[in-house]
Amino acid sequence: MNIRKAKTTDLDHLMELFEVAKQYMVASGNPNQWIQGYPSRELVGEQIAQDWCYVCEEEGQIVATFCFIPGPDPTYAHIEGQWLSNTPYYVIHRIASNGKVKGVADYCLRWCRERCRSLRVDTHEDNKPMQHILYKNGFRYCGIIRVANGTERLAFQVDF
């Protein structure tokens, strides 16, 4: 698998991946995480322009996407709980795949770990598949944060 920075020409395909991911979330008991048009085409486009959005390719086809963003993230400034450390960190947002390649999220997390000393992630309480992946990859639950729309997310961190 190859990981590269997303390009603006990838935007349509990324939006399709997010739709597949939303359908998977609903089917797996998580209908409330990505709602009200989230993630918007504008947000994804901005993050591509900032070089924070990446794609995973398998045999020349985009099979997944994620954002890898240097902190600090203002959403993580207040936590009901405690972060593992105050080490400079990166944030991973919106891992989404087409579901055709197994282990994509694990691969993305390993790729990110190779590029920093600390990672933070948040996910919805109902996103049990993502929580399983995070625990399997050494992340520890730290507490609850609130995202821009005011809803709660479970916050995780791993340090190396």
Q: pLDDT tens digits, residue range 34-45?
A: 888 899 999 999
**78-116, pLDDT tens digit by residue?**
999 999 999 999 999 999 999 999 999 999 999 999 999
**47-88, pLDDT tens digit by residue?**
999 999 999 999 999 999 999 999 999 999 999 999 999 999
Which residues are registered as beta bridge partners of 64? 56, 97
Task: Tell me the whole-structure pTM to 2 decimals.
Answer: 0.94
Average pLDDT, the chain: 96
CB atoms within 10 A of CB 22: 18
22 vs 11: CA distance, rounded Å: 17
Contacts of 25 (CB under 8 A, 6+ apart): 31, 33, 34, 127
Pick the closest to residue 113 from 95, 141, 139 (CA basis).
139
